[in-house]
Amino acid sequence: MALISTTAKPEPASGANAMTRLEEAFADEMEQVNALIIERMQSPVGMIPDLAAHLVSAGGKRLRPLITLASADLAGYQGDAHFKLAATVEFIHSATLLHDDIVDGSPMRRGKPAANTVWGNAASVLVGDFLFARAFSLMVETGRLRVLDILAGASSIIAEGEVRQLAAIANMDMSEPEYMQIIEAKTAELFASAARVSAVIADLPERQEVALDRYGRELGLAFQLVDDALDYAGNAKKLGKAVGDDFREGKITMPVAKAMLTANATEQEFWTDVFSKTERTKSDLDKAMKLISSHNAVQLTLDQADLHIQNAKAALQYFEPGKTRTLLCDVCDFVLERSF
């Protein structure tokens, strides 16, 4: 593999392999982050590392910590606090995943039974709390108060976004701007913070700190919109979860919002009825998929994601061209084009 990749011609800068190139460029640094993650999820209470390992060490794209590492490099940071911050970001992400699976009642996560399916809700709640607390201990060690302020603030915004989504279940009046606010809070805030904290530790001027925040935020918005689209168009095996999960959970996401926007009266009635039921059947999903397809709603969602991808790329203009800037730019295409 190494032979092939070093002797092959440079591949085109498309999204298809941008994630791999980002991973390879920061493989050594990521190894240190992974070691830190393993070290800090240890506990004499065996259930904790068992459950945490199920989630933290097994799979996942590690996109958020990679953004922290790449942002630190882009910022010219010379110290080693970025390792701890990358691990912090992944811990916060893992804690929210554990708690989300309880909220959603999801049986699967990344192609494996979700932790709550294996260990139960009680353990998932508590191990999530443990990871969250360890995340805070890790970032306290960096000794940078502004970083702590940013990540603690992000954590409450994430929880707010999740509660807001929960409260909005079956709310047919939810507007697109309101939906965008929810995903900005629940998903994009952590991407924004993951990038921004690297600017802080590198003591970048404010405009570059804001630019990195903007980069992460727009990328996060696109990431979530693509996630929403994949839930109605993805390949279950590649996704590692069932297609139609959002629909079954009664979550009105962007593809549904787009399909409703141009729905006729009969279709509107279908949407209202189907989301006011406590459960949605396979035939409900089939009908929903058909409407989403006829309204081109998946593509419209991806088009909107593309706008945010363009914003993310534009934010990088505050930095000098270079290898890392190119990688961060190209990974935007990966986020847009990914099928899992």
Q: Least distance from C-beta 13 to a second copy, angstroms? A: 38
Whose tokens are 């802080």? That residue is: 200
CB-nearer residue toward a second copy: 187 or 324: 187
The label of the residue with tokens 């707010």 reads 160
Q: What is the DSSP letter of 172?
A: T
Q: How far is the CB of 51 from a second copy (least distance, A)?
A: 9
Distance CA 246, CA 340 (A): 15
Pick from 213, 206, 217, 207: which is nearest to 335 by CA?
217
Minimal distance, residue 95 CB to a second copy, in Å:
8
CB atoms under 10 Å from CB of 140, counted, come to 14
Amino acid at site 196: R
How many other C-beta atoms can be found within 10 angstroms of the C-beta atom of residue 5?
A: 12
* CA gap 242, 330 in Å, rounded: 28
Give the C-alpha distances (Å, rounded to integers) separating 224 from 92, 236, 284, 311: 17, 17, 24, 15
Q: Which residue, 16 or 140, has its beta carbon nearer to a second copy?
A: 140
In the complex with a second copy, the residue whose CB is nearer, 105 or 113, is: 105
Binding site residues, a second copy, CB under 8 A: 43-48, 95-96, 99, 102-103, 121-123, 125-130, 132-134, 136-137, 140-141, 143, 145, 148-149, 152-153, 155-156, 158-160, 162-164, 166-167
- By beta-carbon proximity to a second copy, the closer residue of 92 and 199 is 92
Minimum CB–partner distance for residue 143 and a second copy (Å): 6
Q: Which CB, 179 or 319, lies closer to a second copy? A: 179
Instruction: Count the Cβ atoms, other than its own, within 10 Å of residue 242.
Output: 15
CA atoms within 13 A on the CB side of 223: 22
Q: Which is nearer to a second copy, 15 or 49 (CB)?
A: 49
